[in-house]
Amino acid sequence: MGNPTGFLEFDRILPQDRDPVLRVKDWNEVHSQMAVSDIQVQASRCMDCGVPFCMAAESMHGPGIAGCPVNNLIPEWNDLVYRGLWRDALARLLETNNFPEFTGRVCPAPCESSCVLGINAPPVTIKHHEVSIIDRGFEMGWVEPQPPESRTGKTVAVIGSGPAGLACAAQLNTAGHAVTIFERDDRPGGLLMYGIPNMKLEKHVVDRRIQLMKDEGIRFVCNREIGRDVAATQLQRDFDALVICTGATVPRNLLVKGRNLKGIHFAMEYLTSTIKSLLDSNFEDGGCISGKDKNVVVIGGGDTGTDCVGTALRQGCRHVRQLEIMPQPADQRSANNPWPQYARILKIDYGQEEAIAIQGDDPRSYLMMTKKFVGDQDGNVREIHAVKIKWVRQKDGRMIPVELPGTEEIIPADLVLLAMGFLGPEGGLLDQLGVEKDSRSNARAEYGKYQTNVDGVFAAGDARRGQSLIVWAINEGRGAARTVDTYLMGKSYLPL
């Protein structure tokens, strides 16, 4: 702890984001840079507390304690940053996190919710230190390919190139196994490539990491959907082990009257088409779903809803609105959301900030339930009929929405985007392999073991646990790699 009074001397400061009115004119990341000296001052706020709650999180079956799922050595690299030992900080960071350039950009930072300083003061800017360390590492040339010194002769197929698949592959490659990643899209990266817009994660950051993994000996096969283009059973014959990391990609639908009208799309369909058109042709191919000059309504909150708002604004929409069926979060922690749980408080993310700057108000409307969609004579959506609701607890403990009379509203809508989360993985691959599913249609495999009911077939990430955070995907990818390594070799020296 280089500065024992730093948390008393300095306030929490983050680099100011680019002007929202200006940044919606491009697709570059919204964040600006911060002077190295200022980052080191912020790192001095870390208290090196006796019990660093920031470093560890409970599993999905735990009581909801926040913290870092990959067990980042946060106080250690905070102190190293403060002392200017950036290369040492990078080494500490990479001990636990394969991809800090991703988590440092798009993770919601549960570590900061459990920061001890956050009990009675703004928490340490942990997430910003994380991305600053790895970006400086790349800038200085410290991040180099690290291929294994020898190979085991064992082969592993990883199905899916999102964060879980990439983390699993990286760890297995370190152990010396020959790893092939299969991806059904034309570019590797999964959610990182086509699910997160460029203004949050520019794709050269993803490409840089993919190239590093290729240089370390990992093979990528794109445009190949296992279960359709290649039989899953063929992979069982060709490889010593399979790891399913396909994510939870079945979107939650909204089955109300008018759902079949044109202009109603799932959020990921919208975001993927936009990102792909941008990368392929800078939108010259006309291949994306566009909100230009349209009234856009996003149904659902969360990060995906925010990404839809930011994307629609950049496309030049006439107006964007976001409907959320849940209540508006409180400004401060409530009694049933104490530290060190993840803080469920109202936040203004980049998309809402941009809408406020351009439209004059927050685009979100809470406790709104869609009743039906109404279209024109050509079958195009034109209106959403919605109503205000309240949540009422039933005798069995369930909470149900109850409409409030007199609160009906007709909302103009030329483009409707459904951002209501995901139900689980697509079932074709699991069915082909005979993998058992849990009650939520996920691959059944115990957390920490990752072994399915099929010998030599493992599952990790959202395909196993359901929709979750990128940092949990990395946690599970690393854990599955250790299990697979043990399965192949009898024991494993890979870290968790």
pLDDT at 61: 45
Identify the DSSP state of 55. Answer: G
Report the distance separating Cα 9 and Cα 6, nearest Å.
5
CA 226 to chain CA centroid, nearest Å: 23
What are the CA-CA distances from residue 233 to residues 332, 370, 436, 445 (Å)? 52, 43, 16, 19
Q: Which two tokens stand for residue 154?
A: 């064992």
**Look-up: residue for tokens 């400061």?**
13
pLDDT band at 163 (very low <50, low <70, confident <90, very high): very high
Q: Do residues 415 and 294 touch, judged by C-beta distance below 8 A?
A: yes
What are the CA-CA distances from residue 257 to residues 140, 324, 337 (Å)? 57, 19, 37
pLDDT at 50: 87
* Identical topology for domains 6-140 and 253-420: no
A 10 A CB-CB count for 218 gives 22
Of the chain, the percentage scoring pLDDT greater than 90 comes to 96
Q: Beta strand 409-412 with 381-393: parallel, antiparallel or unpaired?
A: antiparallel
Q: What is the CATH number of domain 155-249+423-489?
A: 3.50.50.60
pLDDT digits (tens, 9 = 90+) for 247-268: 999 999 999 999 999 999 999 9
Which residues are within 8 A (CB) of 104 and not within 5 positions of it... i.e. 6 or more apart?
Answer: 127, 128, 130, 131, 132, 133, 134, 135
The answer, yes or no, to whether residue 363 has pLDDT greater than 70, is: yes
Q: Do residues 307 and 196 touch, judged by C-beta distance below 8 A?
A: yes
Q: Do residues 179 and 151 touch, judged by C-beta distance below 8 A?
A: no
Tallying the residues shown for the chain, one arrives at 496
Q: Do residues 213 and 43 touch, judged by C-beta distance below 8 A?
A: no
Amino acid at 464: R
Which residues in 411-429 are b (16+ Cβ under 10 Å) and which e? bebbbbbbbbbbbbbbeeb
Report the distance separating Cα 323 and Cα 307, nearest Å.
14
Which residues are within 8 A (CB) of 204 and not within 5 positions of it... i.e. 6 or more apart?
Answer: none
Report the distance separating Cα 276 and Cα 286, nearest Å.
11
The answer, yes or no, to whether residue 287 has pLDDT greater than 50, is: yes
pLDDT digits (tens, 9 = 90+) for 292-304: 999 999 999 899 9
Please compute the mean of the pLDDT values over residues 86-93 and round it to a whole number.
Answer: 98
Class of 6-140 in CATH: mainly alpha
pLDDT digits (tens, 9 = 90+) for 59-70: 544 446 789 999
Q: Beta strand 241-244 with 457-459: parallel, antiparallel or unpaired?
A: parallel
The alpha helices in 366-442, defined as continuous H runs, are 427-433
Q: Do residues 220 and 181 touch, judged by C-beta distance below 8 A?
A: yes
**Look-up: residue for tokens 């096969």?**
221
pLDDT digits (tens, 9 = 90+) for 406-458: 999 999 999 999 999 999 999 899 999 999 999 999 999 999 999 999 999 99
Check the CA dihedral 153-155-161-166 and report its sign: negative
Using alpha carbons only, what angle is made at residue 192 by residues 187 and 16, rounded to the nearest 5 degrees?
Answer: 130
Please list the residues that pair with 372 across neighbouring strands: 257, 385
Q: Do residues 457 and 242 touch, judged by C-beta distance below 8 A?
A: yes
pLDDT band at 1 (very low <50, low <70, confident <90, very high): low
Residue whose C-alpha is closest to residue 290's, from 254, 263, 266: 263
Per-chain mean pLDDT for the chain: 96
The answer, yes or no, to whether residue 2 has pLDDT greater than 90, is: no
pLDDT at 59: 54
> How are strands ordered across the β-sheet holding 155-159?
219-221, 178-182, 155-159, 241-244, 457-459
Q: Which two tokens stand for residue 350?
A: 């980049």
Residue whose C-alpha is closest to residue 71's, from 484, 482, 474: 474
Q: Which two tokens stand for residue 2?
A: 């280089």
Residue whose C-alpha is closest to residue 29's, from 172, 179, 232, 206: 206
A 10 A CB-CB count for 216 gives 17
Q: What is the CATH number of domain 253-420?
A: 3.50.50.60
pLDDT at 427: 81
Task: For the chain, give every domain's residue range.
Answer: 6-140, 155-249+423-489, 253-420
A 10 A CB-CB count for 196 gives 24
pTM of the model as a whole? 0.96
Q: Do residues 75 and 44 touch, judged by C-beta distance below 8 A?
A: no
Please list the residues that pair with 451 across neighbouring strands: 458
